[in-house]
Amino acid sequence: MSRLFLVRHGETESGSTLRYWGQSDVKLSTLGLSQAERLCNRLVTEKFDAIYTSNLRRASVTAEIIAARHQLDIVNCAELNEVNFGKVEGLTFDEVSRFYPEVAKTWVSRSLSLEFPDGENFEMFNSRVSKFLSRLDKHTPEETILIVAHAGPLRLLVCYLLGLDLRHWRQFRLDLASLSIIETYSQQAILSQLNDVSHLE
């Protein structure tokens, strides 16, 4: 059995957690740094065999804080970067609805034809994230892997690993600094923990 620990990065200093920052390289806020420390304390007794993170600072710094208690190098993966929202970057959903009503309509319908102006469409995003799976294939079944990324890529990975239709990718709630755990077996994967934020209490 292999165990995959999926961690979403902490809060950013971008001014609002309601804004879509995508590939904008915003930093962790003071609270976000504290959340990463709490994740570190939560995971200190785990024995990880590999740590992967997105290239974006809010995820990579979260990973670095956790990794400080483990003797492991971090592998940066562009495949784990958040979706490129293009012109939607930095906007709230209300602003997207006002400025790009067709995008908002497609977004709400959970259609896989979703496309962000001057950014990625779902097919591009999905193709990029799915390439990360080849990295996991290189690990033995007994290994434990930590993946620190963003809500979008992590949701897709959950779908892939559990064998779910990708139409469900936005139906998982993954809060900031949350922990989810998937146990993989030869024939199936089991979601044993989802969106756990008890370490932040």
Among 9, 79, 120, 150, the one annotated catalytic: 9
pTM of the model: 0.95
pLDDT in tens, 52-101: 999 999 999 999 999 999 989 999 999 999 999 999 999 999 999 999 99
pLDDT in tens, 90-102: 999 999 999 999 9
* Class of CATH domain 2-200: alpha beta
Could you tell me the end-to-end alpha-carbon distance of the chain, in angstroms, rounded to an integer? 30
Among 82, 89, 120, 150, the one annotated catalytic: 82
What strand order describes the sheet that includes 74-76?
Answer: 74-76, 50-53, 144-149, 2-8, 179-184, 189-196
Contacts of 180 (CB under 8 A, 6+ apart): 5, 6, 7, 154, 158, 174, 191, 193, 194, 195, 196
Query: Catalytic annotation on 82?
Result: yes
pLDDT band of 14, cuts 50, 70, 90: confident
Q: How many CB atoms lie within 10 A of CB 84?
A: 18
Mean pLDDT over residues 120-147, rounded? 96
pLDDT band of 16, cuts 50, 70, 90: confident
d(CA 19, CA 31): 17
Mean pLDDT over residues 171-182, rounded? 96
Residue among 90, 124, 85 at smallest CA distance from 103:
85
Residue among 92, 96, 95 at smallest CA distance from 116:
96
pLDDT in tens, 180-195: 999 998 889 999 999 9
Query: Catalytic annotation on 9?
Result: yes
Q: Is residue 139 over pLDDT 70?
A: yes
Parse the chain into domains and list their residue ranges: 2-200
Element (H, E) at 67: helix 57-67
pLDDT at 15: 65
Residue among 31, 34, 83, 32 at smallest CA distance from 59:
32
